[in-house]
Amino acid sequence: MNTQHTNRNNEQYEVVGPADAVLAVAGEDVILPCSVKPNISVVDMRVEWFRLNSEGSQVHLYDNHEDRNTDQSQSYRGRTKLNHQELQRGNTSLKLSSVRVSDEGLYKCFIQSKSWYDDATVNVRVEAVGRPPVITVDGFDHSGGLHLQCESEGWNPEPDLEWLNSEGISLSSETTEMQRKIDGFSVKHTITVHERDSKIHCRFKLKHHMRETLMITTSNMFNSWRTSVILISVFVVLSVIAGILIAVFAHKNEEHIQLQREHSQLQNEHSRLQDEKRRIQHERDQLLKTILPIALIYLKTDKVNVILDADTAHPQLIVSDDGKQVRSGNTQKKVDGGKDRFTEYLGVVGKDGFSSGCFYFEVQVKEQTKWDLGVTRESVNRKGLISLSPDNGYWTVGLRNGKYSACDSSVVSLSLSVDPQRVGVFVNYEKGLVCFYDVESMSHIYTYTDQCFNEKLYPFVSLGYMAYWWNVNSTPLIICDDY
């Protein structure tokens, strides 16, 4: 299903993909259909293929009359191709070679001209026939039944499986273990048989494909069960003798037992301290809710005048003349390529940085549906796709797809009772604190603690990624001064 976007200009077209899923076979090549209607030339346009639900997975990019795959996901290197002659007829279908099970999923075909853009979604299903199954003997039950285990790997989707006896009658599988791996499903299933001198078949089926293996059960196999029973009996007798020796040894080593008791007491004390820690944290959270409205009043005494630096802004962003607002534009403006500005992330930083003390500022995010804000180091990378994490010099919270999150050592989902309209950012440079607050509800959003700052920190705001689709919401982010 494709999604069109309104535009005042007359240059309009529709991007069309297949109505049904595209079926591919692992190891073979497949064509992902995509074209524009009417069949106009797309030679002068931007054509981008990327994976959905997998941020940062660029599959293929054509721009400025050539393929530009420097940021292509590693798993697609050397496996994608656009037919440049077909681009003149509006055909942007992508050839994907040597298909893998991991290629299965949703793909977006995105086509952008100077004044219009549209996209279509292509669902790719991959079929893979697994390796021949292997049967192994996995012991006996208490009645002498033979446990058989059958295993095969590399199937996609999940195969049907069954056990058959020598007459072709289906036998009930006792347990089935199925695990999804990067190259397909790995399947194990077991059965217990009591038939001697019989043929047991293990069969895997997937649509029109089948893999099967055979095991012949012999009387010698079942005779080995009797030997096992004798060995087990001997083992039990030896275990009883060993138990007596251990009891004598334990009686002569009461000091060791006492040490074990003390170790158990230490474990109980550790558990009690953990419970006490959780109780203190709960009381701290309750206290924070009480004192936060008062604390915000004192935080505002560290207010700084933030002015956005338009020379660092992504070319699609429009920064107001006073440097207090930033919004997304419909097209990219021509800018000085030598400036240290963002190229893929729709970001901009403040003109002034801070390398000591405390500072505080507020940003209005009302009615904007995609944003990130916080602070960033002076020396951070602003080129290409950026992970907004402290390891990369970014301390932020943000909104994406209706969900709030922060990126600490890992992505942290934030459960907020109300949608923030204005977010306050407080930084204590010496203590390594970056705190975020919902100003209107006077509630805490998230805090980065125990950070190590060794260079200037700059205010940072953004409207999301450019790599997948523009932020079409023209509502600006506003640096607030009315507090």
Which carries the bigger pLDDT value, residue 378 or residue 240? 378
- For residue 223, what pLDDT is reported? 55
150 has which bridge partners? 135, 189
- Give the domain ranges of the chain: 3-127, 134-217, 303-480
- For residue 166, what pLDDT is reported? 84
pLDDT higher than threshold 50 for residue 381? yes
Most confident of the following: 144-158, 359-373, 383-397: 359-373
Hey, what amino acid is at 336? D
- Segment 397-417 mean pLDDT: 91
CATH level 3 topology of 3-127: Immunoglobulin-like (2.60.40)
Same fold, 134-217 and 303-480: no
For 152, half-sphere exposure in the C-beta direction (CA atoms, 13 angstrom radius) is 23
51 has which bridge partners? 107
CATH level 3 topology of 134-217: Immunoglobulin-like (2.60.40)
pLDDT higher than threshold 60 for residue 233? no
Structure confidence by residue, pLDDT tens digits, 94-125: 999 999 999 999 999 999 999 999 999 999 99
Q: In sequence order, what are the residues at sequence separation of 6 or more whose Cβ sits closer than 8 angstroms to the Cβ of residue 321?
A: none
CB-based contact 346:318 (threshold 8 Å) = no
Whole-number Cα distances in Å, 14 to 39, 40, 61, 331: 10, 10, 19, 19
pLDDT higher than threshold 60 for residue 137? yes
Which carries the bigger pLDDT value, residue 291 or residue 321? 321
Q: In sequence order, what are the residues at sequence separation of 6 or more whose Cβ sits closer than 8 angstroms to the Cβ of residue 453?
A: 355, 377, 429, 432
Cα(first)–Cα(last) distance of the chain, in Å? 47
For the domain with range 303-480, which CATH number is right: 3.40.228.10, 1.10.10.60, 2.60.120.920, 3.30.300.30? 2.60.120.920
pLDDT higher than threshold 70 for residue 433? yes
Task: Tell me the pLDDT band of 147, cut-offs 50, 70 and 90.
Answer: confident
Residue with tokens 């293996």: 213
Task: Tell me the pLDDT band of 6, cut-offs 50, 70 and 90.
Answer: very low
pLDDT higher than threshold 90 for residue 179? no
pLDDT higher than threshold 50 for residue 359? yes
- For residue 247, what pLDDT is reported? 62
CB-based contact 38:46 (threshold 8 Å) = no
Q: In sequence order, what are the residues at sequence separation of 6 or more whose Cβ sits closer than 8 angstroms to the Cβ of residue 289?
A: 443, 444
pTM of the model: 0.44
